[in-house]
Structure 1
Amino acid sequence: MTEKFTLLLVLLININYICFAQPQQNSKRADSLQVEFLTKELDLTSEESDKLWPVYNNYKNEIRNIRKEDQSDQIVLDEKVLNIRKKYKDDFKAVLGSDERVNKLFVAEKNFMEMLRKELIKRNIKREGT
């Protein structure tokens, strides 16, 4: 009886691990692809890259935290995200040097998210078809 209980407990722990490990790996992979994409789109130098990513990660974490809070009012959520973008605009400009490059960062970020969304849809359709 004890052996069955122990085996069941081990299986439950492993199922939890498997279910929760995959999204974290996918998220880390998406983050690294985003860094690569934005670096290429902005044509960052190594010096700019060293300065930009800590600021960008703080910016991205603030946006993630806002999106986790309350998603019932989309207009309020969009306004909070916009305020975060405004807050970081000067920090990004200090690294990138111009408003044009900051705008290019925001456009490239949007383009990456759209590309990622389309890829996920394509994969889901492919998975459902097999």
Structure 2
Amino acid sequence: MIRMKRCKLIWMVLAFLSMAGLPAGDLLAQDAQQEDAAAKQDKIKSLEILYISKELDLTPEEAQKFWPVYNKYSKEVNQLITERRKKAKELKNVPRTDAVAEEAMDKELGYERKMLDIRTRYKQEFMKVLPARKVSNLYRAEREFRGMMIRQLKERKDNRMMRRHK
């Protein structure tokens, strides 16, 4: 029964993502593209909330306590990811010497250390508002959702490539 609900939810999320994909035409202005990107991010965030809510099966009391903590956690994680991408972009055009490569590895390890610190700190915060099994399910649900998103994006990219080569 639970497996059937999960499959149904996954198909619902995938169907919604397929419908939400608004192709940006070449003639769209940059503002329109940014608005489109923001709208897509909002839809993805909504889907993530829906998916996590279903997977954790939160009571109303748990949800009231959980979501503010999760929003803070999510904000910190996203800031760290943004910082990482920015630094990676800066290093992209720098010639790859051994010193640059070593610096890049150190920065990547520092990023992973910071991410682990955030997750460890928030594990304690989540444990204050949810039972351990639901906190464990949270991390699993996040991984599953990211995996679904990556697969969906890859499928779209592959489909666009196939249409171009026809």
State TM-score, norm by structure 1: 0.81
Displacement after TM superposition at 1:52 (Å): 1.1
Measured in 2, the distance between the counterparts of 1:33 and 1:118 equals: 15
C-alpha displacement at 1:77, in angstroms? 1.1
Instruction: Note if 1:49 corresponds to 2:63.
Output: yes
Amino acid at match of 1:128: M
Match of 2:140 among 97, 107, 111: 107
Higher RCO, 1 vs 2 (CA within 8 Å, ≥6 residues apart): 2
Indicate the residue corresponding to 2:128 in structure 1: 94
Say what the alpha-carbon RMSD is for the aligned residues.
1.5
Runs of at least 4 residues of structure 1 off by over 6 A? Answer: none
What amino acid does structure 1 have at the position aligned with 2:150? R
Distance 1:121 1:74 in 2: 24
Aligned to 2:161: 128
Deviations 1:20-78 (A, max 9, x none): 11111111111110111111111111221122111111101101111222444322111
The structure in which a higher percent of residues are helix is 1
> TM-score w.r.t. structure 2 length?
0.65
CA distance in 2: counterparts of 1:82 and 1:23, whole angstroms: 29
Q: 1:79 aligns with which of 82, 89, 113?
A: 113
Distance of 1:104 and 1:63 partners within structure 2: 18
Match of 2:94 in 1: none
Give the whole-Å Cα distance in 2 for the aligned partners of 1:94 and 1:119. 34
Identical pairs, percent: 32
Q: How many residues align?
A: 116
Match of 2:81 in 1: 67
